[in-house]
Structure 1
Amino acid sequence: MPTELRRVERALLSVSDKSGLIEFAQALHKLGIALVSTGGTAKAIAGAGLPVTDVSDLTGFPEMMDGRVKTLHPKVHGGLLAIRSHPEHQASMIGHGIAPIDLLVVNLYPFEATVAAGKGYDDCIENIDIGGPAMIRAAAKNHHDVTVVVDASDYAALLGELEAQKGATTLTLRRKLAQKAYARTAAYDSAISNWFASELAETSPAYRALGGSLAETLRYGENPHQWAAFYRTPEQRPGVSTARQVQGKQLSYNNINDTDAAFECVAEFDPAISAACAIIKHANPCGVATGADLAEAYARALACDPVSAFGGIIAFNRTLDAAAAREIVKILTEVIIAPDASEEAIAIIAAKKNLRLLLTGSLPDVRAGGLALRTVAGGFLAQARDNAVVDDMELKVVTKRAPSEAELADLRFAFRVAKHVKSNAIVYAKDLATVGIGAGQMSRVDSSRIAAWKAGEAAKAAGLPETLAKGAVVASDAFFPFADGLLAAAEAGATAVIQPGGSMRDDEVIKAANDAGLAMVFTGHRHFRH
């Protein structure tokens, strides 16, 4: 027998999630593998009529302290850690009556699920597994001799190898499973440490651990020469990571990024107040609007920039209906994401086999906290999610003319959208719809000019004689450092402006607004999005 093969003669099984357990244990028994188990796992195996040794019989100690102490014993860890070819290890095993454990099957207490369910502090603490991670790490360290399984999805592959290798496993499989085992305990510990940080309101802990589970391997990253994968974190925030894909081809890296941006943007609009649609291209909105229904909201969003919308991502804040679906399929669209969809809408979308349809069940809470992360060379940046909402801000009128009620509604709308536009961001809006968006420019005045130009192009596309910027309002994600950006908006025909304020030249900008007859309000909140 090749030296890399290790026969499995005894297995220790201790699982919280018992999915597939009995079938798996039956298969191990048929292969002649002796079974050792703990607590509820042992009861389930014995209940299926299979011979099983309780771990307390193995150790000579009963489970105690409400199950907190059961596997933390030399007869367990010695059986996992002993190097089979090491004479001193073998002598210790013989001298202390320690039998080898060749296969460890453990999945951990459901800590992440307990937190996600909103359980109390004490419940979360009790669902922190101690013995499980200790055994997993021991088995994974000694993977030259021991096979470790932490995921029920690996049962089939393991059984296939045991059957093919006549009851043995290969070093290749053991290494692969060991890597997964350490990744699982690392993700588990990261969930615990981040939960503790949240409970303590500790925003900058000395060590910040990150963990996630593989959702899918992607075809490639932003570009074809980059590998990519999509991971889910313990945070249960409605969106791409929680969505059910009804149809369409696999999402790409860029699809996922853009769809997340679209859904976060449209979630700013309360579905109980109005239907809303956000159309995204390259993580920037190219059109956002509200309407009496989704079809109207979509048409108004599309009118902002029908050229850029081609091949874009569409997000809705309400259940997708047939009327909106019929309009969407008239042009090329990559992804639609919505809380739900009617059967008729799903049938209409089905005619476009490559069009992805994602249903999330609900909208994310835009006021909820959470981590926002970005990698840099040699590290990563962590910050709180931008959960500031314009409805919660006290708007300060700084010009001689105060905005009208209609202007004020549009100003709030525009600032809500500007939060989701790459900086420097300028958003023109009228009647609760964007009419021109300038994004990601190095100077704010350039963003302002581009937004005005976009408004003119939108008017041409609609066959209108004058720019859509005329009579519109303008939102800026950050203060105007000079009056030039504001003057560009005035020249385009805007009547009111919303911005954070806070520039050293605020007085100069306010004077320019007064001279141009503009109304202007300050929010006191900046929405940089780099």
Structure 2
Amino acid sequence: MSHDQVRVARALLSVSDKAGLVDFARALSARGVALVSTGGTHKALTEAGLPVTEVSELTGFPEMMDGRVKTLHPAVHGGLLAIRDNPEHQAALAAHGIAAIDLLVVDLYPFEATIAAGRSYDDCVENIDIGGPAMIRAAAKNHADVAVVTDVADYAPVLDALAQGNGTLTRPFCRALAQKAYARTAAYDAAIANWMSGHVEAASTAPFRSFGGALAQGLRYGENPHQAAAFYRAPGIARAGIATARQVQGKELSYNNLNDTDAAYECVAEFDPARAAAVAIIKHANPCGVAEGENLVEAYARALACDPTSAFGGIVALNRPLDAQAAAEIVKIFTEVIIAPEASEEAIAIVAAKKNLRLLLAGGLPDPRAAGDTVRTLAGGLLVQGRDARVIDDMALTVVTKRAPSEAELSDLHFAYRVAKHVKSNAIVYAKDGATVGIGAGQMSRVDSSRIAAWKAAEGAQRLGRAESLAVGAVVASDAFFPFADGLMAAAEAGATAVIQPGGSMRDDDVIRAADEAGLAMVFTGVRHFRH
């Protein structure tokens, strides 16, 4: 046998997921591979009529402590770690009667599924695997002599490789399996560490943080064709959205599609479906139109009216199940993605007429109040923060001007601030009657965002044949304080009547004075919503 080949004579199998197990083990046995197993896996193989040795026969110890101790033994780890062409290792195997293990097939206790199901703390702890990761890491370390399988998807490739190698595997093949194995245990440990961070104090400043995920989709490229990309699901997180969505139809999702759709769905989730239907239309991760309505058709029409030019080729997110009437309107213009909690069969059939249009059904709405972390990379590191889980409904608003907002203005101020939370900073949002009429996003100067939003509102009036800007009589939301009165005055000059902003500037008094002189009502939230 070539030095670059691994002869598979003995395999240890111990898996929680029994899918495909018996067929895989039967194929190994047919090749003359001796089978060793544990617990439920041993039972499944025995019931299938396969010759299999219980691991306790190797160790001389029964499983104990409710299965916590069964494979943590030199008879197992020696068989995995022994270097085949090392005479001292081989002498140790012989001296202690340890048989080499050439193939390890192990998955892990379903910890991620347990925490995703919201099980008790003690149940989650019991689903932390100890022996599995230990064996996987041992086999992966010794991948020059041992193959390690951690994924049912690798059963068929292993069998094919054994067939091609006449019972052997190449070392490059085993190296690839080992890399996957280490990535799996790393993601598993990351899930455990991050879950436990929710049960200890000062977790946000822990000296070590780890993040992992399982490949959900390989992508053709990233933001640009020269950038490689993939989408990974974070294990154990049950938050509704992109990671839970099933794609009913349409082209493969791109990196930009996924990023923009996530932004759209997080935005529309700010709007309680029990109160009103809501639609958010997103382009390049920024809202270009958001509205509430009696139904989705009305909400979509009002959201589209804010900026139909930008909406072309955008993402449409709904806070209620997609119905036929809304589907018929949405497909009238080119749209990249529709995402909703669910959809009627009639709506699905209408969207199906546009074969490239992606339809995603997430099964629910993300909770805007839910805790969690966001992560982005920096050169040589990670920048981690808690999700912006503050919502306007929970904030105590302070009226700081002589005039308090009217009931209608206050409703629109709440609406505008929900949207502003999801607009790239600097963010300015004009809204009227539960719909955006002008949005200024991502400018280096807040006054420039104010001017852009006012210009969009004036442009909207021209489309409708109105002489008066849609900003007249609207309210305006700013994601952060006005450092000077100029941004506020741009809103006043556009016709806004009420303002919502965090406050907290050294020049708050100047801004309040300017608001009073312009007859504006203004409220402070005390909560900033920067979104970079």
Place the TM-score, normalised by the shorter chain, in its bin. Answer: over 0.9
> What secondary structure does 1:296 align onto?
helix
For residues 423-479 of structure 1, give each alpha carbon's deviation from its aligned partner in whole angstroms, at most 9, with x where no partner exists. 000000000000000000001100000000010111112222221001100000000
> What secondary structure does 2:205 align onto?
coil
Structure 1 equivalent of residue 69 of structure 2: 69
The separation in 2 between residues aligned to 1:170 and 1:199, in whole angstroms, is 45
**Runs of 5+ consecutive residues of structure 2 not aligned to the other structure:** none
Structure 1 equivalent of residue 80 of structure 2: 80
Count of paired positions: 530
> What secondary structure does 1:375 align onto?
strand
Structure 1 equivalent of residue 339 of structure 2: 337
The answer as to whether partners of 1:266 and 1:316 remain within 8 angstroms in 2 is yes
> What secondary structure does 1:361 align onto?
coil
Structure 2 equivalent of residue 478 of structure 1: 480
- Paired AA for residue 294 in structure 1: L
The answer as to whether partners of 1:303 and 1:462 remain within 8 angstroms in 2 is no
Structure 2 equivalent of residue 203 of structure 1: 204
**Runs of 5+ consecutive residues of structure 1 not aligned to the other structure:** none
Structure 1 equivalent of residue 462 of structure 2: 460
- The runs of at least 4 aligned residues of structure 1 exceeding 3 Å deviation read none
The separation in 2 between residues aligned to 1:97 and 1:421, in whole angstroms, is 67
The answer as to whether partners of 1:469 and 1:492 remain within 8 angstroms in 2 is yes
For residues 46-96 of structure 1, give each alpha carbon's deviation from its aligned partner in whole angstroms, at most 9, with x where no partner exists. 011111000000111111111111111111111101111111111111111
> What secondary structure does 2:310 align onto?
coil
Structure 2 equivalent of residue 6 of structure 1: 6
Structure 2 equivalent of residue 298 of structure 1: 300
> What secondary structure does 1:145 align onto?
coil
- Paired AA for residue 114 in structure 1: T
- Paired AA for residue 393 in structure 1: M
> What secondary structure does 1:199 align onto?
coil
Structure 2 equivalent of residue 286 of structure 1: 288
TM-score if structure 2 supplies the norm length? Answer: 0.99
Q: Does 2:52 correspond to 1:44?
A: no
* 1:163, distance to aligned residue in structure 2 (A): 1.5
198-207 vs 265-274, greater mean Cα deviation: 198-207
Structure 1 equivalent of residue 122 of structure 2: 122
415-424 vs 67-76, greater mean Cα deviation: 67-76
> What secondary structure does 2:162 align onto?
helix
The separation in 1 between residues aligned to 2:197 and 2:395, in whole angstroms, is 28
* 1:17, distance to aligned residue in structure 2 (A): 1.1
For residues 338-381 of structure 1, give each alpha carbon's deviation from its aligned partner in whole angstroms, at most 9, with x where no partner exists. 00111111111111111000001100111110001111111111
- Paired AA for residue 399 in structure 2: V
101-110 vs 162-171, greater mean Cα deviation: 162-171
Q: Cα RMSD over matched residues?
A: 0.8
Structure 1 equivalent of residue 219 of structure 2: 218
- Paired AA for residue 422 in structure 1: K
- Paired AA for residue 225 in structure 1: H
* 1:121, distance to aligned residue in structure 2 (A): 1.4
Map 1:484-503 onto structure 2 (within 5 A): 484-503=486-505
Map 1:217-296 onto structure 2 (within 5 A): 217-234=218-235, 235-296=237-298
- Paired AA for residue 243 in structure 1: A
> What secondary structure does 1:70 align onto?
coil
The separation in 2 between residues aligned to 1:178 and 1:85, in whole angstroms, is 19
* 1:204, distance to aligned residue in structure 2 (A): 1.6
The separation in 2 between residues aligned to 1:277 and 1:498, in whole angstroms, is 22
> What secondary structure does 1:280 align onto?
strand
Structure 2 equivalent of residue 16 of structure 1: 16
Structure 1 equivalent of residue 357 of structure 2: 355
The separation in 1 between residues aligned to 2:252 and 2:238, in whole angstroms, is 22
The answer as to whether partners of 1:288 and 1:433 remain within 8 angstroms in 2 is yes
The separation in 1 between residues aligned to 2:291 and 2:124, in whole angstroms, is 42
The separation in 1 between residues aligned to 2:321 and 2:131, in whole angstroms, is 46
Structure 1 equivalent of residue 111 of structure 2: 111
- Paired AA for residue 221 in structure 1: G
Q: Does 2:326 correspond to 1:324?
A: yes
The separation in 1 between residues aligned to 2:241 and 2:82, in whole angstroms, is 46
Structure 1 equivalent of residue 388 of structure 2: 386
The answer as to whether partners of 1:479 and 1:500 remain within 8 angstroms in 2 is yes
The answer as to whether partners of 1:306 and 1:458 remain within 8 angstroms in 2 is no
For residues 162-181 of structure 1, give each alpha carbon's deviation from its aligned partner in whole angstroms, at most 9, with x where no partner exists. 11211111112101100000
Structure 1 equivalent of residue 188 of structure 2: 188
For residues 483-520 of structure 1, give each alpha carbon's deviation from its aligned partner in whole angstroms, at most 9, with x where no partner exists. 00000000000000000011111110001000001000
The separation in 2 between residues aligned to 1:91 and 1:180, in whole angstroms, is 31
